[in-house]
């Protein structure tokens, strides 16, 4: 059995995320940055690079071509967000705030925590898996500058706002239901 990491095939074309993410930005991020984490993770066990591989795989999987209309979850995930955050709008506000306030580079994630049977938002510095024990990531947003600098320069808030239209709630809901 070949125990290596590979660059996953994207479920969309390199220009499919526009205007959220340009083809230039996606190509640079996916083919250069993500590939570098894969190459380094395959050289030796290194949690930084392995974390980069795993988080990027989750990130690409929870994106889709952006919608022009408001993008909201439905079904059991929508109800869980209401139960755990009071409303979808409150969840979106808290997640965006966590993404904007993360100092330096990293990720913001929506976790399902099994012990309390609830959803939680957390920040991940760099690629370090400082996650809640007994928790599973079901959604991530990459807030490293290489994720958005070509398209948004240093305007992380604008990138985060655009993310909500390119988020595949279908994929996030599937991850949630598979727990």
**Is 33 domain-assigned?**
yes
Confidence at residue 128, expressed as pLDDT on a 0 to 100 scale: 80
Bridge partners of 167, per DSSP, are 63
Range of the domain at 53: 22-179
pLDDT along the chain (179 residues), means of 10: 87 97 97 94 83 95 94 95 98 98 95 94 86 88 96 97 97 96
**Is 1 domain-assigned?**
no
Query: What's 62's domain CATH number?
Result: 3.55.40.20
Confidence at residue 1, expressed as pLDDT on a 0 to 100 scale: 59
**Is 15 domain-assigned?**
no
**Is 158 domain-assigned?**
yes
Kindly write down the DSSP assignment for every residue of 1-13, as one continuous string: ------PPPPSS-
Tell me the pLDDT tens digit for each residue of 112-141: 999 999 999 999 998 886 667 789 999 999
**Is 2 domain-assigned?**
no
Number of domains, the chain:
1
**Is 14 domain-assigned?**
no
**Is 4 domain-assigned?**
no
pTM: 0.92
């Amino acid at each position: 059995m070949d125990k290596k990491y590979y660059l996953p095939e994207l479920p969309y074309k390199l220009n499919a995320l526009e205007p959220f993410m340009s083809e230039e930005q996606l190509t640079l991020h996916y083919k250069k940055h993500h590939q570098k984490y894969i190459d380094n993770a395959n050289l030796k066990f290194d949690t930084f690079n392995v974390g980069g591989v795993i988080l990027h795989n989750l990130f690409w999987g929870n994106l889709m071509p952006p919608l022009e209309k408001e993008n909201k979850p439905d079904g059991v995930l929508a109800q869980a967000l209401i139960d755990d955050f009071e409303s979808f709008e409150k969840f979106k506000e808290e997640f965006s705030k966590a993404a904007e306030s993360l100092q330096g580079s990293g990720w913001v994630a929506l976790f399902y925590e099994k012990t309390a049977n609830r959803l939680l938002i957390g920040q991940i510095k760099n690629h370090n898996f400082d996650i809640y024990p007994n928790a599973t990531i079901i959604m991530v947003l990459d807030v490293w500058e290489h994720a958005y600098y070509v398209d948004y320069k240093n305007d992380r808030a604008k990138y985060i706002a655009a993310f909500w239209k390119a988020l595949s709630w279908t994929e996030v809901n599937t991850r949630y239901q598979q727990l």
